[in-house]
Structure formats: structure tokens, C-alpha cells
């Protein structure tokens, strides 16, 4: 059993400690925003926050988050009350299929927490390990800059 905080609430999973966090979140805690892409820390679509830092859930053993705080898109906002970061992505129509966006939204949250006024270069660097198969990168960068202005 591994216990941790998930989006502000206590959570526990029974998966063995070496199970990737991604599977524990999806299969035991119904956290379907956390997506499998490559499984190799190469695409970023599984990114979550662990104690505020971006982490790739596809390879992170669930035991390593024991006692820590995990954040996913489920804790950001919802369709009827989007977080300002989500609203910025809507305003820029930055999502195409949306598969990459869970990880990018969480990466954006981590970026803005450490740098409230990122430059375009800062945004590109922060998202360098996130791939968008739809090629929406230009809109995604615009959305992150819009989000920065909104939450400032």
C-alpha cells in the first residue's frame, strides 16, 4: 500500500511499489487525465506534479511518491470552472486532439510557479520534453504566455 496526497485529498493504492505511478493513478484512482504515450520519458503526455515539480508518471515508481503531494489535471479545474491555464488554452484554441495537453498543462503550472513572467524562450525550454503529435506547438506556446499574463 502506498499513501500520498492526490489533488489535495488523501489517497492510497495497493499496486506494488515498483508499479509506474501512471498505472496506479489511472487504474486505482480513476485519474484518466494521465496518459500513456511512449512509456520512456520521451513524450511528456504522462506528466504530473510531485511536490510541485514535473515528473513523468510512466516511469516513476509509485513507492517514490509515498507521503508526497501529487497533482494532476483533475485538480486543476473542470469544464464549468476552468483554471486560468485551461482557459488560456481554450482561448488560443491550442488543443487539437488534446492527447498531449494533460502533461503540458501540468508543465505549465510548474513553470508559472517558478517563473511568473516567462519569455517565449522560457516556455519553449520548459516544454522541450513534450511532443504534440498534432503540431499545435505555436498555439500551445501562445497559450502558455496568455496563461502567464492571466495568473500574474
Enumerate binding residues for ligand FES (CB under 6 A): 36-39, 41-46, 56, 58, 95-100, 132-134, 136
**Residues sharing a CB contact under 8 Å with residue 131, sequence separation 6 or more, in sequence order:** 37, 42, 43, 44, 45, 100
Closest to ligand FES by CB, 27 vs 117, is: 27
Closest distance to ligand FES from the beta carbon of 42 (Å)? 5
Closest distance to ligand FES from the beta carbon of 31 (Å)? 14
Closest to ligand FES by CB, 42 vs 117, is: 42
- Name the residue with the smallest CB distance to ligand FES: 58
Beta carbons of 86 and 108 less than 8 angstroms apart: no
73: left (phi over 0), alpha (psi -120 to 50) or beta: alpha
Closest to ligand FES by CB, 1 vs 24, is: 24
Closest distance to ligand FES from the beta carbon of 26 (Å)? 12
Question: Residue 71 is inside which H or E element, if any?
Answer: strand 69-71
Closest distance to ligand FES from the beta carbon of 152 (Å)? 25
Cell of 67: 507521503
Q: Which residues pair with 152 in a beta bridge?
A: none
Amino acid at each position: 500500500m502506498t499513501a500520498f496526497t492526490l489533488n489535495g485529498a488523501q489517497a492510497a493504492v495497493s499496486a506494488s511499489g515498483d508499479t509506474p505511478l501512471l498505472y496506479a493513478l489511472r487504474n486505482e484512482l480513476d485519474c484518466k487525465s494521465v496518459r500513456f504515450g511512449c512509456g520512456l520519458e520521451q513524450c511528456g503526455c504522462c506528466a504530473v506534479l510531485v511536490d510541485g515539480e514535473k515528473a513523468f508518471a510512466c516511469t516513476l515508481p509509485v513507492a517514490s511518491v509515498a507521503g508526497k503531494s501529487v497533482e494532476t489535471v483533475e485538480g486543476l479545474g473542470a469544464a464549468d470552472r476552468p483554471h486560468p491555464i485551461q482557459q488560456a488554452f481554450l482561448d488560443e484554441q491550442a488543443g487539437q486532439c488534446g492527447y498531449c495537453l494533460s502533461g503540458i498543462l501540468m508543465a505549465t503550472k510548474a513553470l508559472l510557479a517558478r517563473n511568473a513572467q516567462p519569455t517565449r524562450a522560457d516556455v519553449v525550454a520548459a516544454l522541450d520534453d513534450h511532443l504534440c503529435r498534432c503540431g499545435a506547438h505555436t498555439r500551445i506556446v501562445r497559450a502558455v504566455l496568455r496563461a502567464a499574463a492571466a495568473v500574474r
